[in-house]
Structure 1
Amino acid sequence: MLRHALAPLFEPRTLLVAADRPLPVLHSLPPALREKLVLADCAPGEAPSGPSPEVGQGRPDLALVCVAPRLLPRTLAWLAAWRPAGAIFLPHDEADPDPAASSALCRDWALAHKCALLGPNSFGVQRPHAGLNLSQHPLLARSGKVALVAQSRAIMASVMDWAEDVQIGFSTALALGDEAVLGLPQVLDYLASDPRTDSIALYVEEVGFAREFMSALRAAASVKPVVVLKAGRALDSSLADAMFDAALGRAGAVRVRYFVQLFSALKVLGYARRPRGRRIALVSNGSGPPQLALDLMGPNAPTVRAELTPPTLRALGEVLEPGVTPSNPVITYLPLTPARTKAVVDALQEDANVDGVLVLLAPDARSDIPAVATQLAELAPKARKPVITCFMGDAGMRPLRRRLDDAGTPAFRTPESAADAFGVLATHHYNQQLLLQTQPPEPPGRPPDLGQARAIVAAARAAGRRELNQDECEALLRAFDVPVRIAEPDASPPDDALAVPAAIRVETGARFGPVLRLGVGGPAGVLDVSDRGMDLPPLNAFLARQLIERSRLWRRVLSGSATPAALDALRGVLEQVSDLVTELPDVETLALDPLHVGDSALTAGGVCMVLREQAACDSPQAHGYPHMAIHPYPTRWVQARAFADGTPWVVRPIRPEDAEALQAFTRGLSERTRYMRFVSMMRELTPRMLARYTQVDYHRELALVATTQVPNPEHRGHPREIIIGLAHYLRNPDGRGAEYALVIGDDWQRRRLGFDLMSVLIEAAREQRLEYIDGLVLANNRPMLALMTRLGFVNDVDEEDPQMRRVWLDLATAGPPPA
């Protein structure tokens, strides 16, 4: 397999150190790396000098540099002879008179020498499991499964100090510095595939180009939990901050609001159990602790109090003291015992209305709290649903919390932090459902009339207008089949309309592009930008329904008054408006306000559309939808084909719901075919690999499946769809090229399927303006090498492994595949 481009930074095999002061790296360097260590001569206040690379020595994996800013040009000139694959530039005591110039110098040098450079002014990198302290922090963190990435050295140092005190470990810890070359997207891309990392925590101040950030975040969050602490809310507008919230939800990540919540998130992310919902049962040995936790729960919070079923209430009645009427929270004032604790938690675990259990315990001299902690430490890691604990206090309770932590189940100091932790888990479950959503392969109604819509926009621009008139607005809505009636000016609301009008608005932000908002109509609605009834396009039916149910309008008006037909119409309007702003990037703002909700239809009392100041691209599909933070499902590549014998098959981009079919396809491959594709004897895809292949962000990759219909004996021979081939490419970190892979089912080989799939993949790569695609193929895989040669690929011996071939295609110069 290809080594990741950032592997030299995180997994260096050779190391060059150029620093004018001692660095902690030398205190814990692994023996294998110590043998490959080169120390430069670097006196204080001087640029590095000697030694020079020996002939045939090869480029080192990593250079660790700490020199005065004024010496940066001479240091880079010296470093050029070594040509390191990666470099970390640490901060220096001497002030930099021109940080922007230093950053530009590092960027230009790194690009010229193809070096993955972190910094300048980076905290550095720690990889505790490997004994690597490539930072200036004096202590190497404990080894763990959480990766911590920050855009602040001060935040990183604080979290590291706190983590040492509470014994939390990390797989990776790094702060980015000035991000001359490497930023959040590239680091996220590496951590998504890092086997040492199970979850990722980000401290973010500025996301930069939203499409790259969202693409990398969605790819990482599809396989590992990601939690984000975003600073700068005071500087952002309310709408910009709400847009960021919506973006994180669609990325499948979790946002925390406060620094202290990040600690709770770090603890709980390492917990193997995940809730399937937000309904929490509370258990306590007093009434105070659960009340503090309940203050953080409710309809507008990530978690709610569970309504216990009658069987659970009866079971609890047999365990609790006489005369107590069981309810949630479950409170007992008797001395707590391990047996009673287990009985209560077991009963709650069996309740279908409970998604997780929160145990809140205060010190009690009458109870054997250490024995109860031991029982929970044994019970919680094996429970089907998450069990999170809070042991309030310090002197006597801190050792008990650590006992739970060591057992693999998180324990917290306060009810609020424990409730926050459950909120992180519940929000992660909800946002993962949003992440999995894609648009249907074909429009549910008639396709939009794009020609007519673009002609309307062009005519308005030709007339020198940005604001469309009423007729043009109505024509655009008709072109996209938006199911809404437009009322005559000054017309009264329909007789069956709800008393409170709604409004659907689209606004375009500089960072995340267009955002759809559902709220109350009229002036009050314009002012309210903090409503959670908003989302980024593209939407499907599920996402539109979730947007509605998150809104205040739903909670306060629609949930109790609107008919199912009206809600269906509202969902349809949101979907079609989403399509409109997806395919017409010229539209900057749109408003259906007021929007009257009747028994079965929607009537807009007003409609307004304003175009961007500068004209957008004519075909967003061909240009990758640059105006959006999330690339829509590429319906362009859904194509019906047929084999020479007339058997029909379809090529289309893969979808999350293809996971089961893809696993069946993999299991059905012969051992030779599996080995030729995966270079291993694996019999099936791991859950993480399955998610990685089916939950695709179409900005950075494309996975095409070939499918056909076969009889299904389990359903009276009715046809079912199966996958018979897979072609995939993933953008390389350089942004210019992509790594491809291809596998064809054994029963479908020698039917030109591989040729046709790769031809579509090449066409798609060209459309995304990639310069090349390449991949590694086993040297003895003659059929694959022959196919690639026929497609015009170049076959080179891999420099690192003579048993592999690097097979690549220059997309700029190669002609179309032969017929």
Structure 2
Amino acid sequence: MSPVKLEQMFKPTSVAVIGATDEPGDPGNTILKNLLGGKFLGPVLPVNPDVDSVMGMPSYSAIDTLPLTPDLAILCSPPETIPYYIEELGKRGTQHAVIMSRGYFRFNRDKLEVQKKALLSVARKFNVRVLGPNCLGYINPSVGINASLASRDALPGKVAFVTQSDSLFTTVLDWAASKNIGFSHFISLGDRYDIHFEDVLNYLNNDFSTRAILLYIETIENARQFLSAVRALARNKPVLVIKAGRSEAGAAAAAAHSGMLLGSDDVYDTAFRRAGMLRVFDIDTLFDTVETIALARPLKGERLAIITNGGGPGFLATDMLLEGGGRLADISDTTCQALDDELGNAWSYWNPLILKSDADGEMYAATIRQLLLDSEVDALLIMHVPTTGTDSAAIAEHVIKACKKTKKLVLTSWMGIDDAEEARKRFTGAGFPSFFTPDKAVRAFLNLVQYRRNQEMLVEAPASLPDDYHPDTFMVRNIIVEALEDKRQMLTEQEARAILTAYGIPIVETRTTTTADEAADAAEAIGFPVALKVISPDIYRKSLAGGVALDLETRDQVQAAVHTVTNRVRQNQPDARISGYSIQRMSRRARARELAVETATDPVFGPIIRFGQGGSLASITHDRQTALPPLNMSLANELISRTKIVTLLRGNRDIPAANLDAVRSTLVKISQLIIDIPEIFELEIDPLFADEEGVVALDANIRVAWSTSSGTDQLAIRPYPKELEECVQLRNGAKVDLRPIRPEDEPDHWDFLEHMSPEDKRFRFFGNVATLPRSEMIKLTQIDYDREMAFIAKGEAPDGSYKTLGVARAMIQPDNSSAEFAVAVRSDLKRLGLGRLLMEKIIRYLQLRKTRQITGAALSDNKNMIELARNLGFDVTKDLDDDVHHFEMTMEEEA
């Protein structure tokens, strides 16, 4: 939904409390006390048909007797009365309600669905948005409102906390008060009948009082909407999350408690990472990390230098850094020489840099100055152990002065109680995160490293089809439709092999036979040694059923193996049908690593890809990592880098590195396969051999089922929409390609802006713009196709090169109610009709996605844009206060 529409929910000017009462402990009493006892200045209107007054205030008997239409209604009456009150509020014009009534079912699914349907049907009829039920409400200190059942108020601050748990609502509120931590919002979502995480996140993205967002999640419902909202938010503000259900038992309990589908925790973890969020695992770390992100300089690299006057804490910090996947900086020879000149022999000559125990402030400052000049160092952790005769606060002042102008990340850990307290306060005041213990500091650094990596993943918007890749999708679809029409879920080995070949994935030569003699003939034709595998529509893992024989060297061995595997299968799976035998040449790639690629369908996030160790070692190493499609080469590389087997893939002095491009390409091709063919709900290649020559699949299993949605619709993240590409012709006869923008268009987009005149830039950006920061260019070229669209025109520029010639952009409200457009064309390519073509393209697209309204604006001296808007059918109006014309077009709904 539009974030603007939640403004009145969380920033109301008047509130009605339905079910208000004088009875202590009743929600209607508690909420009224919290509203009246806080700093909320608007009118609070009790509604209770059974009493004349509540807490000394007049009580209104019905909604239509209220003296004004409240922005917000808080409902504390019995559940069976809620639909009636929602209808009355909707008729009166109130569009926001919080349900705090007791008695809403959570564990009885049948009764829950009845209650939910009754409530939502009337709420949607009258456009009333509902928070809850089974929630504790919310607190917004910025407007002084405590619309919650909590026993205390929240302190004002810049952090929003959004929770699915009532108990955590009160726990974190108490915890934060004890540590003097404030909030911009404190929101309990409850059972999320109507308002979900994504609705609140869209609102918070536009809330200027919120600098960071903390989430407690048990389950989510619409993965695509959630990830779209988080990805948009995480570009602007840090988002940290605690997710319940890391263990299987905990996940099942969380799902049962929330009444939602149970998704895999590793898939949630992958989704959080892909969305640019940072996952932490306890409340203490949550607030430590958000404070660090808020205070610290952005982390530009991952190489940490540690400075301390105590060896033990330095060594422990180093161990924790390396065990957590961090990197210790290699101090350059130049820096070592400079430190020698400054410190003599009073330091340890390696990282961590151990200074003498009574090191003073000047020694710390000298060391810091040299390390900050070292290009091999990205960040500093500066530690101090209390020592008799040293002044911790004075040393801290020297550190602050030495670090004041640096752009590198600086963390501090001043150990001790009373002696170090003043130093920690000074660091925090100067904008340098300070920690009581080294392990907390290192943990915060590792979280920043992971946050940085997640932010890098966030700006990956992979194409759904590599430009030079053209698989035979038609043939694959025919294979699968034929199998499904035969009522088979499991594809045959021949079919699976044909599908991999169609998508360019190498697979070993295989021949299919039905008798022992045919098998022996095939083996002789292929060449010994061979592997023999039983073919059965009822067996998914042939080796577990005893249906595999390896290293067969002669014709007689092959014939004997046919009888052996047949007997083993009949013993292990008596009902399995055996339709034949496949013969494969044994792949003699002595230096090949055995990998595995598998796909599955998560109940929450849809299609997923897992990658890691394959073959016989897979059950021992448990080395599988998860990714969300679509993948590009960069995202495939990130997936590979998280596995243990990546070390073997990179090779060593005895074994050359595997062809990682071939491994990455295979993952991208598998990603494309499950996008193109949504009927594939399970696929496994195990083993996939990889060496310096490339990759080859030895075996593949594929399960299929009819699908009612496209592969793109099933994905949690929408891929590049290649289907929107087209070629058009300009007035001068030149042809240009119109297509959605892609991340790799960034270099051409800089060139495009360079070829816009200062006046055209002023028209586009409503002000004088010399150049854009790269962060803004990333936002322009790396977009979320679910909530914005940019079409670029690519064609021949005046210098003969193939360049970006123009762009039309639409920023779409999350509820698809409206979109705001902007269009720009190279200044040396005016009057060729390109601007009109781009605008017509964006209008057609918005009509296709059923956006209800298109809006735009232009400076009044931008006559060409104003005339184009009129010609395209926009209503054009002049703003009397600003020198701006506004455009509006309401889309016609299909009959």
- Give your verdict on TM over 0.5: yes
Query: What amino acid maps onto 1:636 in structure 2?
Result: E
1:643 alignment partner, one of 725, 730, 735 = 730
| 1:435-468 C-alpha deviation (Å, 9 max, x unpaired) | 2223358624331222111111111111111111
Alignment match, 1:431: 454
Select which of 63, 86, 95 maps to 2:96.
Answer: 86
Confirm or deny: 8 A CA contact 1:483 1:572 kept in the other structure. no
Tell me by how many angstroms 1:682 deviates: 7.0
Alpha carbons of structure 1 residues 550 and 183: separation in structure 2 relative to 1, 3 Å: same
Q: Distance in 1 between matches of 2:10 and 2:831?
A: 42
The within-5 A match list for 1:262-281 is 262-281=286-305
SS class of match (1:186): helix
Deviation at 1:293, TM superposition (A): 2.6
**TM-superposition CA deviations, 1:137-195 (whole Å, max 9, x none):** 45554444333222123223333333333343333332212212111111122222333
Q: Cα distance 1:473–1:678, how it changes in 2: closer, same or farther (>3 A)?
A: same
**Paired amino acid for 1:518:** F
2:692 to 599, 619, 626: 599
Counterpart residue number, 1:714: none
Q: Say which of 742, 751, 776 aligns to 1:655.
A: 742
Q: Give the whole-Å Cα distance in 1 for the aligned partners of 2:136 and 2:775.
A: 30
How far the C-alpha of 1:54 sits from its partner, in A, is 8.4
In 2, are the aligned partners of 1:222 and 1:691 still within 8 Å (CA)?
no
Match of 2:855 in 1: 775
> Aligned partners of 2:835 and 2:73: how far apart in 1?
42
CA RMSD of aligned residues (A): 3.7
Q: 1:737 aligns with which of 817, 820, 828?
A: 817
Residue in structure 2 matched with residue 702 of structure 1 by the alignment: 789
Correspondence list, 1:713-728, <5 A: 719=801, 721-728=803-810
Q: Which residue of 2 aligns with 1:817?
A: none
1:254 matched to 2:334? The reply is no
In structure 1, the partner of 2:46 is 40
What do the CA deviations read for 1:314-344 (whole angstroms, capped 9, x no partner)? 2333444626432111112332322222222
1:543 corresponds, among 635, 648, 651, to 635
Q: 1:115 to 1:71 in 2, by over 3 A?
A: closer
Amino acid at match of 2:43: L
Instruction: Give the C-alpha shift of residue 25 in structure 1.
Output: 3.8
The 2-side partners of 1:753 and 1:134 are apart by 53
- Which residue does 1:165 correspond to in 2? 178
Structure 1 position 399, deviation (Å): 3.9
1:372 is matched with: 395
Separation (CA, whole Å) in 1 of partners of 2:747 and 2:142: 34
Moved more, 560-569 or 404-413: 560-569
Q: Sort the Cα spacing of 1:103 and 1:568 in 2 relative to 1 into closer, same or farther, 3 A.
A: same
Matched residue of 1:296: which SS? helix
Q: Which moved more, 1:694-703 or 1:61-70?
A: 61-70
Change (3 A) 1:637 1:596: same
Q: Is residue 162–residue 216 contact of structure 2 (8 Å, CA) maintained in 1?
A: yes
Q: Output the CA distance in 2 between the equivalents of 1:658 and 1:53.
A: 60
Contact 2:83 2:122 in 1 (8 A): no
Q: Deviations over 1:341-398 (max 9, x none)?
A: 2222222222222221112223323211011223334454632111111223334433
Q: Please, which of 673, 682, 692 is the counterpart of residue 589 of structure 1?
A: 682
Question: Which residue pairs with 1:221 in the alignment?
Answer: 234
Q: Name the counterpart of 1:6.
A: 6
Contact 2:296 2:433 in 1 (8 A): no
Q: Structure 2: how far apart are the matches of 1:776 and 1:797?
A: 12
Partners of 2:413 and 2:438 within 8 A in 1: yes
Task: Provide closer, same or farther for how the CA distance between residues 169 and 687 of structure 1 changes in structure 2, counting only shifts above 3 A.
Answer: farther
Q: Which amino acid aligns with 2:473?
A: L
1:76 is the counterpart of 2:158 = no
2:130 matched to 1:117?
Answer: yes
Q: Partner residue of 2:504?
A: 481
Pair 1:633 & 2:720 matched:
yes
Relative to structure 1, is the Cα distance of residues 665 and 109 closer, same or farther in structure 2, using a 3 angstrom cutoff? farther
TM-score normalised to structure 1 length: 0.86
> 1:295, CA displacement in angstroms?
3.7
- For 1:577, the aligned partner's letter is I
Tell me the SS of whatever aligns to 2:714.
coil
Q: Structure 1 415/611 Cα, relative in aligned 2: closer, same or farther at 3 Å?
A: same
Q: Which amino acid aligns with 2:715?
A: M
Any residues of structure 2 matched to 1:6-155 within 5 Å, and which?
A: 6-12=6-12, 15-16=15-16, 19=20, 20-21=28-29, 22-29=32-39, 34=41, 37-42=43-48, 49=61, 52=64, 60-67=70-77, 69=79, 71-73=81-83, 75-89=85-99, 91=100, 96=104, 103-137=116-150, 140-155=153-168
Aligned 8 A contact 2:854 2:890 in 1: yes
User: Paired residue for 2:470?
Assistant: 447
The answer (yes or no) to whether the contact 2:684–2:702 under 8 Å persists in 1 is yes
The equivalent position to 1:314 in structure 2, one of 326, 337, 356, is 337
Shift of residue 581, structure 1, vs aligned partner: 1.2
Q: Aligned pair in 2 of structure 1 residues 219, 530: CA closer, same or farther (>3 Å)?
A: farther
Aligned length: 789
1:384 to 407, 417, 421: 407
For residues 333-372 of structure 1, what are the structure 2 equivalents within 5 Å? 333-372=356-395
Task: Classify 1:276/1:417 alpha carbon distance in 2 versus 1 (closer, same or farther; 3 Å).
Answer: same
1:500-528 CA-to-partner distances (Å, cap 9, x unmatched) read: 42222222221222222222222542576
- Cα deviation code 1:617-653 (max 9, x no counterpart): 4x54xxxx12211111112223333311134433222
Counterpart amino acid of residue 602 in structure 1: V
Match of 1:107, SS? helix
Cα 1:565–1:365 change in 2 (3 A) is closer
**CA separation in 1, counterparts of 2:743 and 2:13?**
37
Call closer, same or farther: CA 1:605–1:682 in 2, change over 3 Å.
Answer: closer
Are 1:563 and 1:600, in contact at CA under 8 Å, matched by a contact in 2?
no
Percent of residue pairs bearing the same amino acid type? 29
Choose 1 or 2 for highest CA Rg: 2
| Displacement after TM superposition at 1:13 (Å) | 5.1
Residues 1:807 and 2:813 aligned together: no
- Decide whether aligned partners of structure 1 residues 96 and 628 sit closer, same or farther in structure 2, where only a CA change above 3 A counts: closer
Contact 1:656 1:695 in 2 (8 A): yes
Partners of 2:509 and 2:206 lie apart in 1 by 51
Note closer, same or farther for the CA distance 1:81–1:557 as it changes in structure 2 (3 Å cut).
closer
Relative to structure 2, which stretch is displaced further, 375-384 or 307-316? 375-384
Structure 2 residue matching 1:270: 3-state secondary structure: helix
Match of 1:326 in 2: 349
What amino acid sits opposite 2:293 in the alignment?
L
2:222 maps to which of 192, 199, 209? 209
1:703–1:728 Cα contact (<8 Å) kept: yes
1:677–1:743: 8 Å Cα contact kept in structure 2? Answer: yes
What TM-score results when the alignment is normalised by the length of structure 2?
A: 0.79
- Tell me the alpha carbon deviations over residues 110-143 of structure 1, each in whole angstroms, 9 at most, x when there is no partner: 3222233322343433343444444344555444
Q: Relative to structure 1, is the Cα distance of residues 408 and 609 closer, same or farther in structure 2, using a 3 angstrom cutoff? A: same
* Cα distance change of structure 1 residues 763 and 402 upon mapping to structure 2, 3 Å threshold: same
Deviation at 1:753, TM superposition (A): 3.0
Find the aligned partners of 2:79 and 2:417 in 1 and give their Cα distance.
46
- 581-590 vs 250-259, which moves further: 250-259
Which SS does the other structure have where 1:501 is aligned?
A: strand
Residue in structure 2 matching 1:502, options 572, 595, 602: 595
Aligned to 1:463: 486
Measured after TM superposition, the shift of residue 600 of structure 1 is 0.5
**Alpha-carbon distance, 1:271 to partner:** 2.4
Gaps of 5+ in 2: 21-27, 106-110, 253-261, 512-530, 533-583
